[in-house]
Chain A
């Protein structure tokens, strides 16, 4: 009898994790409320300045600006939910943009081989990240930083500047749009929906929350935690690869600095945390991350319209991120108290 209750307990707990995932929409609501508030305040400020915030042009701009970061941030969400993190994404984006543009070499026929190569390379990088973390037991911070440095070294050694050429038919991904919605934003939305489905409707999703919530408990409940960690890293790297394709399409060529210049590593982590996902793992979700990325993009657009100095943007951005997380932390302690 005693044995049976002991066996049962982990099962109950993993169900509680599924419940948790449903409960933790709360910070998500906060992000979208903040987003609405920001749009309202920004609209007023820009109107006062004699402009208009929500023109067709700026709405398209917001979506285009956030698509690449959004896709990376969704991958980062999966990794962070599983209690890990990935600092190699920025370097991987540069690498994949180069691989894509070099293989395409301006020929329409080479698009699919290039896309396949990018996806294969990024999943390999993800696999290496995951295996170094789980098999060699290196802290994710050091493991992904190390892998990132390895990629950076190879890329910088082989390339000094932009290389390769993306054919016009692939550049559609970067520029064209259907009505007010750019193709890149649709791609982002597609990735987000897949990730949402994965997290909230599949067994793997629950396992990700379980591993991030408490790895030891998850392991004792029969979850193969190492496998979950590796899979999330592969998925995250795939997202970075897709972002690399998107940026190659937009720039028309591969660039060795496109990932690091965009600051996609730290910025994607910031967007995830801004969306209410706990850095320690186990709490949060994709919807919040989408809100976080949009929040950063709207902030950017408002500053552009008001013609605020770009350095002031960084200051405000830093303050906003810290304040947002402080607000979540406060709610968290109140709930548990």
Chain B
């Protein structure tokens, strides 16, 4: 919780700024609509967090999301009865892609940057090879309900986000989280203390694949079927995780902060929209803020985390 404080402070400032311009944002409906839009990225960020904290990267999530949505549309093709089997299949595909990423990274000793880059090419090539270049078919209403509908006033996607977010926090508090953190911090030390490093990392990649599958289900319902649905999501997810103060290279950072980073990124987009900054300049502002946030985090973090606080002060 303590590590999540800086990003939560930034988030509160951004949310306040949004509320000043757009009072509707303060009403439950307005805020829930915002959370609904943010849910896929937050879930992706949680998945990416597990991989990053174990010291690896997952660049394949963006094309995995696209692949999942395209697969769902082609297999369901408007047929309501196919909804549940296809949902199960999507989850299985997500886990399988994560399994392959993890096994190739750990057993063949290929850097995960390359493994998941290869997976990105394979997935985006294979899925359009299968559908002949453009997405085909349609999603069923039952499928789209997850991204669009809700239980009374509560959107399903927010409920799913709460459940998965809770599960992620629980997982990091359980033994698995401690082992994962140890692996990312110092793989060799963890291995010598009896951690099955390979298995832990494979599991982290599978969690990332699972989160991509869930994000695809939500995005498919929310945004519809297109070949661009997952474009750039891998970079957004990594950015969100890093914004939350998680260190690339592994071993530092909390999952709550990573998810808060994703909400912050989404709030930033909303705010830029409200202030009427044109679509393109949004990227520029995003770039500046990411660098600034990470730089600020790096400058502040060592003083907080090192026990020798006096040294840091003496040096500065």
Interface residues of A (CB under 8 A from B): 132, 136-139, 141-143, 145-150, 152-157, 266, 269-270, 273, 279-280, 309, 311-319, 321-322, 325-326, 329-330, 332-333
Contacts and interface: CB of A to CB of B under 8 A. Distances in A.
B235 interface: yes
A195 B121 CA distance: 29
Nearest to A317: B121
Given A146-B288, A326-B110, A153 B125 contact: no
A318 B120 contact: yes
Given A136-B291, A142-B290, A157 B278 contact: yes
A146 B294 CA distance: 10
Interface stretch (B111-119, B147-155, B199-207): B111-119
Given A139-B242, A270-B114, 15 more contacts: A132-B295, A137-B295, A139-B247, A142-B238, A157-B278, A157-B280, A266-B117, A311-B124, A311-B129, A314-B121, A318-B117, A318-B122, A325-B110, A325-B111, A325-B114
A142 B121 contact: no
Contacts of B249: 139
Nearest to B133: A311
24 contacts: A132-B291, A132-B295, A136-B298, A137-B299, A139-B249, A141-B57, A141-B238, A142-B294, A143-B294, A145-B290, A150-B288, A152-B280, A157-B281, A270-B114, A311-B128, A311-B133, A316-B125, A317-B125, A318-B121, A319-B122, A322-B104, A326-B108, A329-B108, A333-B109
Chain A binding surface, main DSSP class? helix
A150 B285 CA distance: 7
Contacts of A148: 287
Interface string B264-280: 00000000000000111
B117 A270 contact: yes
A319 B57 CA distance: 18
Cβ-closest 7 pairs across A and B: A314-B125, A153-B284, A318-B121, A149-B287, A156-B280, A153-B283, A136-B295
A160 to B, nearest CB: 9
Contacts of A313: 125
Given A156-B283, A311-B129, A142 B111 contact: no
Contacts of B283: 149-150, 152-153, 156
A316 B120 CA distance: 12
Contacts of A143: 291, 294
Contact of B124 (A138, A141, A314): A314
Contact of B114 (A132, A150, A279): A279
Most buried by A among B111, B290, B291: B291
A318 B119 contact: yes
Interface in B178-205: none
Q: Which of the four size classes fits the interface of chain B? A: 35 or more
A224 B124 CA distance: 42
Most buried by A among B115, B247, B290: B290
Contacts of A280: 111
B286 interface: yes
B95 interface: no
B10 interface: no
B109 A330 contact: yes
Interface of B: 57, 59, 104, 108-111, 113-115, 117-122, 124-126, 128-129, 133, 235, 238-239, 242, 247-249, 278-288, 290-291, 294-295, 298-299
Most buried by B among A137, A139, A315: A315
Contact of A315 (B115, B121, B235, B299): B121
A322 B114 contact: yes
A138 B125 CA distance: 33
A322 B285 contact: no
Contact of B109 (A146, A150, A309, A329): A329
A219 B290 CA distance: 28
B73 to A, nearest CB: 17
A278 to B, nearest CB: 8
Contacts of A269: 113, 117
Contacts of A332: 109
A139 B248 CA distance: 7
Contacts of B122: 314-315, 318-319
B52 to A, nearest CB: 10
B291 A279 contact: no
Contacts of A156: 279-280, 283
A274 to B, nearest CB: 9
Contact of A137 (B109, B281, B298): B298
A321 B117 contact: yes
A147 B282 CA distance: 13
B238 A138 contact: no
A315 B67 CA distance: 13
A157 B235 CA distance: 21
A11 B210 CA distance: 50
A142 B139 CA distance: 36
A180 to B, nearest CB: 31
A145 B117 contact: no
B59 to A, nearest CB: 8
A153 B280 contact: yes
B118 A157 contact: no
Nearest to B114: A325
Contacts of B290: 142, 145-146, 149
Given A311-B129, A314-B124, A138 B295 contact: yes
